[in-house]
């Protein structure tokens, strides 16, 4: 017997595929704990417990205008629908996991970057979330260049805050210059965490966000750049811009964030100057979460810490956060990075990206 709640869920999930299908008939067959579903050109297994081994596939007869394959249940995939992975430091004191899911969007505009290095004998780890809008080019450019540019800054190790601020703004200039002959006007957020030894620097532009857990309490390390933020609205208006309501608060009635990379047409008002917070990491800090607004739209800071701390492995925590945001109805791309601080570990392990 197929339960009514499962049928409703199947109808909702099929609808989220967009305009891939408009089937007149949905065939359901219960097999153990799974349902086999056939609707027009789409066939998939539906797991009643929302386990990650379920997968939806458009069969080979689908035409090009039907859209890409959509992984509804967070399984590793080669087409950009969903990906996850992990990395550990050689001394075992730091581990991270990432999870990125296209979700209900037809295209993927989120990017992430994780880098580790040794500079002058000092361990340096960098984590970044880049959420594109108006296209993916700005976010992809940041993934390719932002951290590389930062490590080349002559004062990166001696004045890290200054280096981050200047690198953010120069990378924005470089991106706009690279796009000067196009008719596009892509933009992107950037929320990054740079760990130099035990000193953490978090820089933010836009409405992606980074939080840290201190003894289980969620502490925001960035504040979303929204146009209706009092200080941001004042800055925009002082520059000759206007903030107006158009479904949400928007700069010039267009952009729903007040700082971003790219966005040439609004550059006078929408700057790429980061706000930076720094902390010395001690034994009270156990978890760091960076994510695009696809997660933060539906998952409060406290919930993110609670979900993240419930999983021992960072990759599982990132997967669970992504899955939680999707379950709660996030309509956006969802990407997050979870970093765990293992203060009591010093074993040697092989790093894995």
- What CATH number has the domain bearing residue 118? 3.60.40.10
- pTM of structure: 0.76
- The helix or strand, by DSSP H or E, that contains position 198, with its residue range, turns out to be none
Q: 78-134, pLDDT tens digit by residue? A: 455 789 999 999 888 999 999 999 999 999 999 999 999 999 889 999 999 999 999
Answer whether residue 203 is part of any domain: yes
Whether 94 and 9 map to the same domain: the answer is no
What pLDDT is stored for residue 39 in this prediction?
A: 43
- Tokens found for residue 143: 């993934």
175 with 270, same domain: the answer is: yes
Structure tokens at 338: 């979870």
Number of structural domains (the chain) is 2
* Residue found by looking up tokens 């953490």 in the block: 200
CA 207/CA 202 separation, integer angstroms? 14
Return the SS3 of 235.
helix
> Tens-digit pLDDT profile for the chain (353 aa)?
445 444 444 443 343 333 333 333 344 444 343 444 444 433 343 333 333 333 322 222 222 232 232 223 334 454 557 899 999 998 889 999 999 999 999 999 999 999 999 998 899 999 999 999 999 999 999 999 999 999 999 999 999 999 999 999 999 999 999 999 988 899 999 999 999 999 999 999 999 999 999 999 999 999 999 999 999 999 999 999 999 999 999 999 999 999 999 999 999 999 999 999 999 999 999 999 999 999 999 999 999 999 999 999 999 999 999 999 999 999 999 999 999 999 875 443 344 44
Task: State whether 173 and 58 are in the same domain.
Answer: no
Question: Are 52 and 131 contained in the same domain?
Answer: no
* The pLDDT value given to residue 52: 35
Query: Which residues are 211's β-sheet partners?
Result: 220, 289
- Rounded CA-CA distance 344/93 in Å is 7
Give yes or no: residues 57 and 128 share one domain.
no
Count other C-beta atoms under 10 Å from residue 319's C-beta: 22
Residue 19's domain comprises 4-66
Same domain, 95 and 41: no
């Amino acid at each position: 017997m197929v339960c009514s709640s499962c049928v409703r869920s199947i109808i909702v999930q099929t609808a989220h595929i967009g305009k891939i299908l408009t089937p007149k008939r949905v065939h359901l067959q219960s097999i153990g704990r799974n349902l086999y579903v056939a609707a027009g050109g789409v066939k998939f297994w539906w797991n009643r417990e929302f386990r990650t081994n379920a997968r939806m596939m458009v069969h080979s007869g689908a035409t090009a205008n039907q859209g890409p394959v959509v992984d509804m249940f967070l399984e590793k995939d080669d087409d950009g629908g969903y990906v996850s992975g992990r990395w550990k430091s050689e001394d075992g004191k730091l581990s991270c996991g990432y999870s990125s899911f296209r979700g209900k969007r037809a295209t993927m505009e989120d990017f992430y970057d994780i880098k580790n290095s040794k500079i002058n004998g000092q361990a340096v780890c960098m984590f970044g979330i880049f959420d594109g809008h108006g296209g993916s080019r700005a976010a992809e450019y940041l993934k390719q260049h932002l951290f590389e540019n930062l490590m080349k800054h002559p004062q990166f190790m001696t004045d890290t805050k200054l280096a981050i601020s200047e690198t953010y703004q120069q990378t924005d200039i470089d991106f706009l210059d690279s796009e000067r002959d196009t008719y596009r006007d892509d933009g992107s957020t950037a929320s990054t965490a740079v760990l130099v030894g035990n000193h953490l620097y978090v820089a933010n532009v836009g409405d992606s966000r980074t939080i840290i857990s201190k003894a289980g309490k969620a502490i925001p390390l960035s504040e979303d750049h929204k146009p209706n933020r009092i200080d941001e609205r004042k800055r925009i208006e002082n520059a000759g811009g206007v903030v107006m309501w158009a479904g949400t608060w928007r700069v010039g009635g267009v952009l729903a964030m007040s700082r971003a990379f790219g966005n040439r047409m609004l550059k006078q008002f929408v700057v790429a100057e980061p706000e930076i917070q720094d902390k010395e990491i001690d034994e009270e800090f156990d978890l760091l979460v960076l994510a695009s607004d696809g997660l933060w739209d539906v998952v409060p800071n406290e919930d993110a810490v609670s979900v993240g701390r419930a999983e021992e492995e960072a990759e599982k925590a990132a997967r669970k956060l992504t899955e939680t945001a999707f379950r709660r109805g996030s309509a956006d791309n969802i990407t997050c990075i979870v970093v765990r601080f293992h203060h009591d570990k010093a074993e040697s392990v092989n790093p894995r990206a």
